[in-house]
Structure formats: structure tokens, C-alpha cells
């Protein structure tokens, strides 16, 4: 069973300046959601960070809430939490695929998001994955967000001059990098 395997876990990142994350949770299965939040909160606090928690109606609303927060606030990263248990209809596939796809697209646009929306076959699988003493997927999602924030801070200020630059911007970059240009 996958729950008994051991997996490598990256060391917790360290930060010179504290991090602030938003945990967005869909508490449809409240007990499972509470465990996911507890795991995420503990991981963020262990890294010296702080967090806020907001609730949304379901997993499909999690990415929308993250997008709103990113436009309107100053979080360094986000933790998406919730649980989708397979039912008798294809609604499960829609919710799993669409919430995951939206989160991935925002990540590719530069947001630091740890995805801890569980997609499981039954309640028992969800309980094991949400349990802090077992798989602790809430903590894992927070750890993922923290690692992405660390990468963003490491590389965020670098400019390699790759890609198209308007002529005036290219001259400014050349002056900065090589000293004044002469004609």
C-alpha cells in the first residue's frame, strides 16, 4: 500500500524575510479539511511564516479565490486545500481536472501554489492523506508552496536580458551591465 512507502522530502527552506501565505480551503468534508489546514499551518509556522485561512464552497472555487487574492493582496504564496471523493457521476472528473488545471495554469504564470486538493476514491483514503501523523498532505502542500517561494526569491531579481527588449530598454541594460556605450 502506498501509505507505507517512504519518500524523500526536501529540507524545509529558510527565509531571510518572513513569508505570508494564504490557505484557501473548501471544507465540504469538514473533518478532512480541518486536518489539511492544521498540517499546512504547522508547516508554514515551522518555516517562520504566517498565514491566513479562507473558506470557499468547493474545490472549483479554490483557484478563483487564489486569483482574486493575488490581484488584491500581498501574499507570497498560496496553499489550495480540499477533498473530492469519487461519486456515482462524472462530476468528480470535472471537479478534479478543472481545479487542478486552473491551479497549474496560475503556477505557470508565476504564482507559488501548493496543491493539496485530495482526489480520492473513498473517505478512508482521504482520512489517511489528511492525517497529520500519516501522509499529512496539507503539510506537503504548504511545503511545496514554501519551496516555490524560496525559488522565486532566489531568482526573482535576476534579469538575464533574454527575449525582446525595446531599443531604449536595451540601451539602459547595456549601460548598466557594460558601462556607457559609445557610438
Residue 50: φ, ψ to 5°: -125, 165
Mean pLDDT across the stretch 109-128?
A: 98
Kindly report the average pLDDT of the chain as a whole number.
Answer: 89
Confidence category of residue 91, pLDDT binned at 50, 70, 90: very high
Q: Kind and range of the H or E element at 33?
A: helix 30-46
Provide the pLDDT confidence category of residue 7 given band limits of 50, 70 and 90.
Answer: confident
From CA 13, how far away is CA 19, in angstroms rounded?
Answer: 11
Residue 13 has a pLDDT of 95
Are 36 and 70 spatial neighbours (Cβ–Cβ below 8 Å)? no
CA–CA dist 34, 36 (Å, integer): 5
Q: How confident is the model at residue 154 (pLDDT cuts 50, 70, 90)?
A: very high
Query: With 70 as the cut, is the pLDDT of residue 156 above it?
Result: yes
d(CA 130, CA 40): 10
* Tens of pLDDT, residues 71-81: 999 999 999 99
Phi, psi angle pair for 121, to nearest 5°? -85, -30
* pLDDT (mean) for 154-160: 69
pLDDT at 181 over 50: no
Q: What percentage of the chain reaches a pLDDT higher than 70?
A: 83
* % of the chain beyond a pLDDT of 90: 80
Considering the entire predicted model, what is its pTM? 0.83
Query: For residue 49, which phi and psi values (nearest 5 degrees)?
Result: -95, 175
Catalytic residues: 91
Average pLDDT over residues 99-120: 97
Q: Which of 157, 84, 80 is nearest to 111 (CA)?
A: 80
User: Residues 133-146: pLDDT tens digits?
Assistant: 999 999 999 999 99
DSSP assignment of 11-27: PPP--SS--EEEEEE--
What are the extents of the domains in the chain? Answer: 2-178
CA atoms within 13 A on the CB side of 47: 29
Topology (CATH) of 2-178: Rossmann fold (3.40.50)
Are 83 and 137 a contacting pair, CB within 8 Å? Answer: no
Question: What's the mean pLDDT in 2-8?
Answer: 71
Residue 43 burial (C-beta neighbours within 10 Å; 0-12, 13-18, 19+): buried
Amino acid at each position: 500500500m502506498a501509505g507505507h512507502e517512504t519518500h524523500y522530502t526536501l529540507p524545509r527552506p529558510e527565509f531571510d524575510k518572513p513569508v505570508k501565505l494564504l490557505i484557501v480551503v473548501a471544507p465540504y468534508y469538514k473533518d478532512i479539511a480541518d486536518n489539511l489546514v492544521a498540517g499546512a499551518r504547522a508547516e508554514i509556522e515551522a518555516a517562520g511564516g504566517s498565514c491566513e485561512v479562507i473558506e470557499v464552497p468547493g474545490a472549483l472555487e479554490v483557484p478563483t479565490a487564489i486569483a482574486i487574492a493575488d490581484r488584491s493582496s500581498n501574499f507570497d504564496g498560496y496553499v489550495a486545500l480540499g477533498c473530492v471523493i469519487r461519486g456515482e457521476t462524472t462530476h468528480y472528473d470535472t471537479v478534479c481536472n478543472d481545479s487542478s488545471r486552473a491551479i497549474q495554469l496560475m503556477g505557470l504564470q508565476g504564482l507559488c501554489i501548493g496543491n493539496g486538493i485530495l482526489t480520492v476514491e473513498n473517505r478512508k483514503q482521504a482520512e489517511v492523506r489528511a492525517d497529520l501523523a500519516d501522509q499529512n498532505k496539507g503539510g506537503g502542500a504548504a511545503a511545496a508552496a514554501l519551496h516555490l517561494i524560496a525559488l522565486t526569491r532566489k531568482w526573482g531579481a535576476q534579469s538575464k536580458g533574454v527575449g525582446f527588449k525595446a531599443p531604449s530598454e536595451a540601451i539602459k541594460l547595456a549601460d548598466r551591465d557594460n558601462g556607457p556605450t559609445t557610438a
